[in-house]
Amino acid sequence: MRKFAIAMTSFLSLAPALALAQAAPVDGQVTKIDTAQNKVTLKHGPIKNLDMDAMTMVFVVADPAMLETVKVGDKVRFEADRVNGRITVTKLEKAK
């Protein structure tokens, strides 16, 4: 029981840091779409939850159907996170 209490105390002390690491929407622009590989290339602003500066990079998409909603040149809002060790777009929509 004591080990459980220690583990819970450790987890709860980390909870605020874990909450800060959640994905937040990022502005970007689609520069390439690769439907065969389920990838999209985005020119994007900083991705704070991944501690990533603004750049252009290729992302895997969590749901290939997301690629059908955008085209090259579209301005988008997206969220990215690490999924199975890969940086992955988890949400993607055209910017309003």
Q: For the structural domain made of 23-94, what CATH number should be given?
A: 2.40.50.320
Tens-place pLDDT, residues 31-88: 999 999 999 999 999 999 999 999 999 999 999 999 999 999 999 999 999 999 999 9
Q: What are the CA-CA distances from residue 19 to residues 4, 15, 24, 30, 56 (Å)?
A: 22, 6, 11, 28, 26
Residue 96's pLDDT band, with cuts at 50, 70 and 90, is confident
Encoded tokens for 28 = 């970007």
Cα separation of the two ends of the chain? 52
All structural domains of the chain with their residue ranges: 23-94
Q: What is the pTM of this model?
A: 0.77
